[in-house]
Copies of this chain bind each other. A is one copy, B any other.
């Protein structure tokens, strides 16, 4: 992050940095009076770092379901208070997390990977996912909100974590039994880390996972579910996706999948699904994967036995 209290960014940079489209930034300025960037000699917007920081907080709160109409009337202090209030349980900040963030900022990807692999070996897959990976992603999200982390540094961490998790999954895969779970995300979802964590948890519990990766078109999900004779289709839904779009997609998917195939949704975005329609099961967290599997097996043994 460039320092200097009066560091100014053009609108395209703000779009990259915050993920808010240029059109949206302009219309917010017109409607709500915020952000209110400076202008250069030819009238182009130049956003002070402070406003960009506030926009990051706004983005974060919107991902939790709050709406811009309210947020953009608040000043920086009120916004900050709201963010901290809603943050829920203070994330346990460990020495490992600090080390990871440091390695990330100094681009020592290989070192970071080695460190994480070591933790994985020491704690085992389950504890690694629940106590290290999941909190780390939260920490990194917070660090991004505070402007301490570049977007590409977040990408780098994601890459490293994915590599470590894949390696872990590959070493588990041998003893796989039912149910067969088809894991993927919806077409506009680009976050694959949650998916991978879920895959690790499920594989650990002895399920047989087949991952299609991210951004699979609905028709392909359906086709693969049938071709692979999946018992369960599991979707990972991040906080980014618009609730409406997701709801529609999930409903459509449920309609097109064979009735016998269960549909599980996890991730921050899954919590925002209205009342989960029948035939759609929302998992509140990674720790519920195990319970969901137990339930499925109980029902299935009963049905078959």
Contacts and interface: CB of A to CB of B under 8 A. Distances in A.
Interface of A: 106-107, 109-110, 150, 152, 155-156, 159, 162-163, 166, 184, 210-217, 220, 224
25 contacts: A106-B224, A107-B184, A107-B212, A107-B213, A107-B216, A107-B220, A107-B224, A109-B211, A109-B212, A109-B213, A110-B210, A110-B211, A150-B215, A150-B217, A152-B213, A152-B214, A152-B215, A155-B214, A155-B215, A156-B213, A156-B214, A159-B162, A159-B213, A163-B163, A163-B166
Question: What copy number does this chain have within its complex?
Answer: 2
Most buried by B among A152, A155, A214, A215: A152
Contacts of A107: 184, 212-213, 216, 220, 224
Contacts of A109: 211-213
Contacts of A216: 107
8 shortest interchain CB distances as A-B pairs: A152-B215, A107-B212, A156-B213, A109-B213, A107-B216, A107-B220, A107-B224, A107-B213
Contacts of A217: 150
Contacts of A211: 109-110
Among A150, A211, A213, max chain B CB count under 10 A is at A213
A126 B51 CA distance: 50
A152 B184 CA distance: 13
Contacts of A213: 107, 109, 152, 156, 159
Contacts of A215: 150, 152, 155
A203 B219 CA distance: 42
